[in-house]
Structure 1
Amino acid sequence: MYSFTTWSKRQVNPDLGQCLFSFVLIADTHVDRENLPSSSPFPINELCNGRTRYCIADIGELSREMGSLAPKFTVHLGDLTHPVPSMAAYSTAVEDFRNITTELKMPLYLVPGNHDVGDKPVDWAPAGVVRERFLTAWNRNFGSHYQSFSHGGVKFVLLNAQIINSGLELEHQQRTWFESTLKTADGERIMLLLHYPPYLYTEDEAENYDNLAIPGRTWLLDLSEKYNVEALFAGHVHHFWYNRYKSMDCYLLPSTSFTRQDYSEMFRAAPSEQMADGRNDSAKVGYFVVLVYENGHVCHFRSTKGSTLQPAEEISESRKTSQVIPLHPREAKMNRVGFDMRHPWAEVVEIAPSGALDEFSRKRVRNDYPLFALWQMGTGLMRIPTSDLEDSQTVARMQALQELGHTFVITSDGVPDAKTLACLTRCKDLVRRWEIAIPIAKIDELKDSLQLFKSETRLPIYLSKLRMKSDRVKDGEPYYHQISHGFSVADEDEINTLLNYSGQRRLFEGAVFRIARTECVSKSLTEVEAICERLGVGASVTMFMADPNPAKHRCDDHDTAYRIAESMFSAASLGKVELIVDTFI
């Protein structure tokens, strides 16, 4: 749920303990020469300096907003500049990066990226691979290639990912140092920061431009598991992904400056003209603020929306980023508002070779932006169909997200078959409740199978009315050729009769209600809450965002946002009702 108060007064899940401190992560600024032609052929790159300048200023605004929780330091995950060390523009870009980041009023730690020291060692890389001359330039301009520091009981370990698998002497030195650093952490929690991510989708995937090759990848992951690394943060890809390797949270960060156009293939809608073929998806541009608690950590994304600042310009009052403070699923003790995930929420997509970065093979990635949007909405409650439980990769994803505080409601229709019951039984520890929609006339057919299921799983079951044509005629509704389910507030007597019939109260812990787009949200939720109090049951309320008339489109974004905000406020004040917004996308 959202917190509509200050950072320090948010009501956070007490299981996390006290917030110890926070820090900022930025990635892939790609600063170029100020007021000179960009070294990139893409016009969007001309905005990188202004966007980096805005990001630095916004971190200052964030610090003021967070008060006592203000970030203590910032880590840059690499690709400080766009010109690589072999280019004449490099030294000027380095100086401009220094000038821009001087305005940051906290310690800044730097991780080298491939634009800073050269690409990882591959023959097909379009730019120069890592080499001694580039490494010397980094050392001269920015200092050590690898380092560690401690803060608040956490050891932060920064690596040069580009030299992994290179065979250079510096790689050998870094390996020895890294293993020794992990071994001597002496009870500190460990967080690992580097530019290249170990992998994008699976730990055994083939090498591509955006991951580490084996054996270096295996070496890094094995040590991370052995020494119980809590979190890994990487850049390079200019997009968000979350993976969980064993017990380690792995975050791939968006850029502060632009998105990678090759990954626009993940989305089902083509990028608009303003998005510059996918390189300027400005809603996805920004940085992370990480809150470290006694018993875990939480990442919040701070969107800068592609805003820019000119030299010596300050953020005006009208341009300051106004963002509601969310509670991450890990921070929320109980999610009472969730979303129906009708659309794929963990979809795996094959990215076509673009020629610029990968040419000879496709790479598989998962679209994690539905997850990203849920975090920004401040909820981890997701309703999914039982068919999702039949896919082993989806189940594995549910297990990973459960560790982050996500909860899952399963929905199905009709009398369940043996396959459905087996899936639910196998995944019972991942499921908060099961919502089953059925014609009321067939409810007797449920009893035997549900009684056996209940005895084996103890999983709460909520009953939803699958509304037939005759129900609509009786309720005076026009007939539309579409499925309709859920009780209305006028069905209280029917629900009471069903629950008291032949011991069915023992089968169902609650009922599923519906609120049409044309109904008042707060009034309907209050009425449902009263029904629950009288009947002694729980309620799941589906709030439909589509119009009851399937031919009528609701395209008013402000009205939609207002309705969801109203529902969140209303649901937060009630004790027995959970709200599912249908649909998320």
Structure 2
Amino acid sequence: MTDAPLFTFAVVADTHINPEDGVSGSPWPTNRLANDRARWAVAALNADAPAFVVHLGDMVHPIPTQPGYGAAAARYHAIFGELAPPLYCLPGNHDLGDKPVDWMPAHPVNATFADAYVSTFGPLWQAFDHGDCRFILHANPILDSGLAQDAEQWRWLENELAASRGRRVFFITHYPLFLTDQDEPEHYDNLAPAPRTRLRALLVEHGVEAVFAAHVHTIFHTALSPDGPAQHVIPALSAIRLDYSHLFKSPPRDWQEHGRNDSAKLGYYLVDVYPSGYRLRLRRSHGACLREGEAVPAIAPLPPAPPAPAPGLGVDLRQGWSDARIIPYTGVVDEFRRKAARNDYLITALQEAGLRDLRVPLDDLLDPQSAARMADLARMGHRFQPFAFAPPDARARAAIAHLADALARIEVIARADGLPDMVSAWRDTAGSAGVPLIASKLWTSADIAGSGASFSHFIGHGFTAQDGALLDDAMAAGADGGAFRVTPDDDPAAVIAAMPKRGAVVAYVTLCDANPAVMMNDDARIKRRVMDAVTAARAHSAHPVVIFDTLEDFDRGYYPRNGLYDGQFNPRPAGLALAALAAGTLRR
């Protein structure tokens, strides 16, 4: 990718406009804010000035059977009539009716609803060009409905994709094809297996570049196939779906209405299209409101992001990061099946904070689910740093070779007297894969235990500034550099400044307290520690990579601590500072 995008477009969704401002038929107070939140989003979009905006559906909250449908549509047109960029829209289930399943909680799509949508909002499906790209807007609530429009749309889509072969195509729709697994059972938030399989095959066969979907009010990123396009499920502007609050280990706060008003997750995406590839930028609205008649506030444009996460910063993924979690059946939108979903706000955090390099145990490369997810993240620009404490066996060598393009470096850990041998054992594996090899010294509580009565177990890794001779031995054995530890008692700036000016250097910066029984929740100290490390690394002639420990809160267990993001995966002050740094807007 080059540094300058060809153009930028915006995708918004799930505004759920009510017939009257401040009034909603929904039982959640947050829903009364939908109109004012949409009005603020229009002001923010005008500030961001994309080439055009696509609304992915659920423009209004009342469904077509309700008498408020027409009035809500009129409010939608009034609010979005203030939008400066061109606006395109496609139908969601609230606008058109639910997909045709007998257990869906609202009336399914029918011919009357389809006619009402067309007369109120415009065509069910459409396509248009911008630059050299083709944009296909698809009405997937009608799939499998038996309506004449269903067969007609399939014919149109097949012809459209065939005519666009060889071009860059962005496919935009409402329901996600699936959330986690292409073979997952049908539930409220995906397509039925038959149309899902047919649609997925078409999109993969014709080389669509990306798929955008909505409906879930929750961010997800999933590849349609190992080498196929990514499907990006975008955030809502109105409210959060409560069932997906179960993705996070920390419960909603009292003011968040059991998850409905987790407002840090509201917003929209700006999509920067480059000569090769694209990049998403999340505009968090934080639930901001603008009432009718109020002066439009000064909203700064969202700064452009680099075309891919820049090398230099990373994080230790200590907690499970690739596994799907089970969302309980709730009696509101799903009652007869469990559904599996990943917490892809982790990806949001990594992209937003500019954290390219991800430290993981070698075990993750050996696990098929984690390995597949590594490949997905690598296509988004991330790289992994697997670490190992044993020589490679055949499985490890095969995994390294298979994922070589996704790796930033390999870290090998051993006690001082065994480190050169460990490096020698890994040298050929790393060299064959074309991946740098770094050494790291093991140290434990046994190495520093005194004769006093106080004792605490711990296991650590990394060189100190006094380990120059040991690093030389490791590099003589074939290591390309070393990992250095910045302990809780260390000044990050001083330790990083003293690191060697040769080889590949990694600084491992801990954010916890030195005492494993003490909670480190001083966000100001953590932010200062993070930014001091970044500043020192950028001033160092060897340009060391800084790995922070850790990304999300540890609110229990050993070394409890706040992370860059909290247990709901909303940014803490250190995460916000890194995001500002990545966007070039940091003011210290």
| TM-score of the superposed pair, with normalisation by structure 1 | 0.89
Aligned to 2:57: 78
2:182 maps to 203
The range that moved more, 46-55 or 548-557, is: 548-557
Q: Displacement of 1:95 after TM fit?
A: 0.8
Kept in 1: contact 2:47–2:301 (CA 8 A): no
CA distance in 2, matches of 1:250, 1:102: 29
Change (3 A) 1:445 1:379: closer
Q: Which stretch has the larger CA shift, 73-82 or 398-407?
A: 398-407
Where does 1:82-481 land on structure 2 (aligned, <5 Å)?
Answer: 82-185=61-164, 187-246=166-225, 247-317=228-298, 320=299, 326-327=305-306, 330-332=307-309, 334-414=310-390, 420-421=396-397, 423-443=399-419, 445-446=421-422, 449-454=425-430, 456-469=432-445, 471-472=447-448, 480-481=456-457
- Aligned 8 A contact 2:412 2:422 in 1: no
Partner of 2:487: 516
The residue number in structure 2 matching 1:43 is 29
Over residues 263-304 of structure 1, what are the superposed CA-to-partner deviations in whole Å (9 max), with x where a residue is unaligned?
111111111112111111111100000011111111111000
Q: CA deviation at 1:353?
A: 0.9
Instruction: Using CA pairs under 8 Å that are at least 6 residues apart, name the structure with larger relative contact order, 1 or 2.
Output: 1
Q: Using the TM superposition, give the Cα deviation of residue 326 of structure 1 relative to its aligned residue in structure 2, in angstroms.
A: 4.4
2:496 paired residue among 515, 525, 531: 525
Change in CA separation of 1:495 and 1:195 when aligned onto 2, cut-off 3 Å: same
Cα displacement string for residues 337-388 of structure 1 (whole angstroms, at most 9, x for unaligned residues): 1000001112211111111111111011111111111111122211111111
**Which one-letter code corresponds to 1:568 in the other structure?**
V
Aligned to 1:584: 551
- Give deviations 1:232-284, integer Å, cap 9, x for gaps: 10000000000112321210011011110001111111111121111111111
- SS in structure 2 at match of 1:581: strand
Separation in 2 of the partners of 1:253 and 1:444? Answer: 48
Q: Does the 8 Å CA contact 1:345/1:371 hold for their aligned counterparts? A: no
Aligned to 1:67: none
Per the alignment, do residues 454 and 135 of structure 1 end up closer, same or farther by CA in structure 2, a change over 3 Å counting? closer
SS of match in other structure, 1:277:
helix
Task: Give me the whole-angstrom Cα distance separating, in 1, the residues matched to 2:478 and 2:125.
Answer: 59
Assess if the C-alpha contact under 8 Å between 1:126 and 1:356 holds in 2: yes
- What secondary structure sits across from 2:516 in the alignment? coil
Q: Distance in 2 between matches of 1:568 and 1:455?
A: 29
Conservation of the 8 A alpha-carbon contact between 2:22 and 2:33: no
State the partner residue of 1:25: 11
Equivalent position SS for 1:539? strand
- In structure 2, C-alpha distance between the alignment counterparts of 1:314 and 1:43, rounded to whole Å: 24
- The answer to whether the Cα contact below 8 Å between 1:415 and 1:438 also exists between their aligned partners in 2 is no
Structure-2 separation of matches of 1:303 and 1:74: 16
Identify the residue that residue 542 of structure 1 maps to in structure 2.
Answer: 508
Shift in CA distance, 563/60, structure 1 to aligned 2, threshold 3 Å:
farther
- Amino acid paired to 1:405: G
CA RMSD of aligned residues (A): 2.2
Given that 1:191 and 1:232 are in contact with CA atoms closer than 8 Å, whether structure 2 keeps it comes out as yes
Q: Distance in 2 between matches of 1:148 and 1:463?
A: 53
SS in 1 for 2:335: coil
Displacement after TM superposition at 1:34 (Å): 1.8
Shift of the alpha carbon at 1:214? 2.3
Partner-residue secondary structure (3-state), 1:112: coil
- d(CA) in 2 for partners of 1:339, 1:444: 26
Are residues 31 and 397 of structure 1, via their aligned partners in 2, closer, same or farther at CA, if it must alter by over 3 Å? Answer: same
Determine helix, strand or coil for the equivalent of 1:338: strand
| Cα separation, partners in 2 of 1:479 and 1:458, compared to 1, 3 Å | farther
Contact 1:17 1:294 in 2 (8 A): no
Residues 191 and 214 of structure 1: is their aligned pair in 2 closer, same or farther, counting only changes over 3 Å? same
SS in 2 for 1:463: strand
Question: Conserved in 2, the CA contact under 8 Å of 1:31 and 1:97?
Answer: yes
Q: Which residue number in structure 2 is paired with residue 12 of structure 1?
A: none
Q: What amino acid is aligned across from residue 17 of structure 2 in structure 1?
A: V
User: Any gaps of 5 or more consecutive residues in structure 2?
Assistant: 553-588
Cα pair 1:112 1:160 within 8 Å, conserved: yes
Q: What is residue 551 of structure 1 aligned with on the other side?
A: 517
Normalising by structure 2, we get a TM-score of 0.88
Question: Residue 205 and residue 442 in structure 1: after superposition, are their counterparts in 2 closer, same or farther (change >3 A)?
Answer: same
Choose 235-244 or 453-462, whichever is displaced more: 453-462
Match of 2:555 in 1: none
User: Identity rate of aligned residues, in percent?
Assistant: 34
Return the alpha-carbon distance in structure 2 between the equivalents of residues 350 and 77 of structure 1.
26
Mean alpha-carbon deviation: is it higher for 383-392 or for 448-457?
448-457
Task: Call closer, same or farther: CA 1:78–1:584 in 2, change over 3 Å.
Answer: same
Which residue pairs with 2:536 in the alignment?
570
| CA-to-aligned-CA distance 1:470-500 (integer Å, 9 cap, x gap) | 64369x9x9532112211112224433x34x
Letter in 1 for 2:39: R
Q: 1:448 and 1:570 mapped to 2: Cα distance?
A: 31
8 Å contact from structure 2 (residues 506, 546) kept in 1: yes
Look up the SS of the partner of 1:568 in the other structure. Answer: helix
Amino acid across the alignment from 2:66? M
Cα distance change, pair 493–282 in 1 and its aligned pair in 2 (3 A): same
Q: Distance in 1 between matches of 2:64 and 2:188?
A: 19
Q: Can you list the C-alpha shifts for 1:119-155, whole angstroms capped at 9, x where unaligned?
A: 0000011100001111111111111100011001111
Tell me how far apart the structure 2 counterparts of residues 24 and 452 of structure 1 sit (CA, whole Å).
Answer: 47
Distance 1:419 1:180, change over 3 A: closer
Partners of 1:463 and 1:508 within 8 A in 2: yes
- The SS at the match of 1:308 is coil
Tell me how far 1:541 sits from its aligned partner.
Answer: 0.8
User: Contact 1:454–1:507 at 8 Å: present in 2 too?
Assistant: no
2:562 maps to none
Question: AA paired with 1:120?
Answer: K
Distance 1:180 1:560 in 2: 55
CA contact (8 A) 2:444 2:458 kept: no
For the 8 Å contact 2:217–2:239, the answer to whether it is kept is yes
User: Do the aligned partners of 1:153 and 1:189 also contact (CA within 8 Å) in 2?
Assistant: yes
Counterpart residue identity of residue 244, structure 2: Y
Deviates most, 181-190 or 392-401: 181-190
Deviations 1:305-353 (A, max 9, x none): 0111110223435xx46967644xx524x41110000011122111111
